[in-house]
Amino acid sequence: MILAVDQGTTGTTCLLVDDELNVHGRGYAELPQHFPQPGWVEHDPNEIWQSVREAMVGLDGYDTVAIANQRETTLLWDRTTGEPVSNAIVWQDRRTADRCAQLDADFIRARTGLVPDPYFSATKLEWLLARHEGDLAFGTVDTWLVWKLTNGAVHATDETNASRTLLYSLETLDWDDELLDLFSIPREVLPEIRPSGAEFGDGIRGIAGDQQAALFAAGGAAKATYGTGAFVLVETDGDPGHGVLRTAAARLPGEQPRRALEGAVFVTGAAVQWLRDGLSLIDDPRMAEELATELSDNGGVYFVPALTGLGSPHWRSDARGLITGITRGTTHAHLARAALEATAYQVRDVLETMPAVELLRADGGMTGNRWLMQFQADVLGVPVETAREAEQTALGAALLALGERRASPAGELFEPRMSRDQAETLYSGWRAALERTLLSVS
């Protein structure tokens, strides 16, 4: 039995899993976020550890712990006492935006595959190191959990988490001296880097960042996770098209290094939430499916949900939402349908920048929406397969612990049914709306 931990931004999920990936027990504990100033988002490292401890309660009989975790979140602690020197700076935190604006984007992209954005760890760590002294240890959340689980004996991270720091070279598979110089980071504070499927201590095996863990559970297929936003990852050595990131994918010990392209869409499920909370058009996200199904077509209505700017492949934080094609005949059903359609179009926008895929593996809360899954297959012209178990992130960590490269059990398969002509007409309607959104900010 494996205890698979998914340490996320709002809580920790633990699954007790056997070697066939059957789930024998589940635990969940919330994790508070702290917002000390506008744009600042923090966790208390002791509360992170506490939430993992709570989520584990009642789950027994395992011999291995595997970890998947929220990425980029940055912790610093005192090696001697093991005490955090301050709160963790969470991936959502924007306090280092000005610093990022000074960075050479081409250099950062070439070295790390990433973009200079406060999202990643380096500028957060630079900020913390400027304010604290001593014999310090840096870690992302995985590193902190391994430190706690081994009572300070192991200070290590895995390649997927390292590849989100802005300090790691995808070429040398090591911390990059020039980047360390750039951010004034002494090598001594950094953890040792191991392949995701490696041992990380007695009874700890298998660590990956959450998106890479879900990708591992997709068994080599492209995957999209549909939640508040959507994360699309495709495992490939190819170069990134415009607007997507290059990142390490999980590998087992002895395997060659593996890489993935990653696109992040900020608003998918969040648009459905906004229809509920902002406009009171629906009572529950599940109503969106009924409303979309009622309509025979979208009535020419498109909704570009740039509610918090646009992520991949546009990276326009100044973009704002737009609804086009409204007539007297437009109803709340059209808006609900347009929000769901926008999810599928945005995932296609990202996939358009990547090598062609033959199947898309889907997971996350929105995959409960069968209309959306069918529409996604139609818009892509590629089959979409859901997973049997919603917690793909935890299952990916479990597969790493098992040392097995294979897909977790599938749920339902949605084959494209719409004619290609019709799909392309719909997609060009979306592109036209998107164009207008981008025009309004350029």
Q: What are phi and psi of 380, to 5 degrees?
A: -85, -25
The CB-of-6 to ligand ADP minimum distance in angstroms stands at 10
Instruction: Choose among 10, 8, 16, 17: nearest CA to 57.
Output: 16
Residue 191, helix vs strand vs coil? coil
Distance of closest approach, residue 372 Cβ to ligand ADP, in angstroms: 6
Letter for the amino acid at 112?
T
Least distance (Å) from ligand ADP to the CB of residue 280?
A: 14
CA-CA distance, 1 to 440, in Å (whole number)?
54
- Which lies closer to ligand ADP via its Cβ, residue 52 or residue 366? 366
Q: In the complex with ligand ADP, which residue's Cβ is closer, 11 or 299?
A: 11
Q: What is the DSSP letter of 118?
A: T
CB of 276 to ligand ADP, least distance (A): 7
State the minimum distance, in angstroms, from the CB of residue 441 to ligand ADP. Answer: 25
Q: What letter would DSSP give residue 245?
A: E
The number of CA neighbours under 13 Å toward the Cβ of 395 is: 25
Are 343 and 228 spatial neighbours (Cβ–Cβ below 8 Å)?
no
If the CB atoms of residues 59 and 270 are measured against ligand ADP, the closer one turns out to be 270
Give me the least distance between CB of 137 and ligand ADP, in Å please: 29
> Which of 155/348 has CB closer to ligand ADP?
348
The pair of structure tokens assigned to 409 is 């059990």
Q: How many C-beta atoms lie closer than 10 Å to residue 94's C-beta?
A: 15
Of 325 and 365, the one with the shorter C-beta distance to ligand ADP is 365
* Closer residue to ligand ADP in complex, CB, 162/272: 272
**Minimum distance from CB of 277 to ligand ADP (Å)?**
9
Q: Minimal CB distance to ligand ADP: which residue? A: 365
What the block records as the tokens of 2 is 């494996």
Rounded CA gap, 366 and 264, in Å? 16
Q: Which residues bind ligand ADP (CB under 6 A)?
A: 227-228, 269-270, 272-273, 285-286, 288-289, 364-366, 368-369
Q: In 3D, which of 81, 117, 114, 79 has the Cα closest to residue 101?
A: 117
Nearest CB to ligand ADP, comparing residues 169 and 331 = 331
Q: How far apart are CA 65 and CA 4, in angstroms?
A: 6
Nearer to ligand ADP, 162 or 275 (CB): 275
For residues 204 and 379, which CB has a smaller minimum distance to ligand ADP in the complex?
379
Say if residues 142 and 67 touch (Cβ distance below 8 Å). Answer: yes
* Minimum distance of ligand ADP from residue 173's CB (angstroms): 30
State the nearest-atom distance from the C-beta of 338 to ligand ADP, in Å: 13
Round to whole Å and give the CA distance between 382 and 367.
Answer: 16
In terms of Cα–Cα distance, which of 363, 379, 359 is closest to 420?
379
**Tokens found for residue 233:** 């990852």
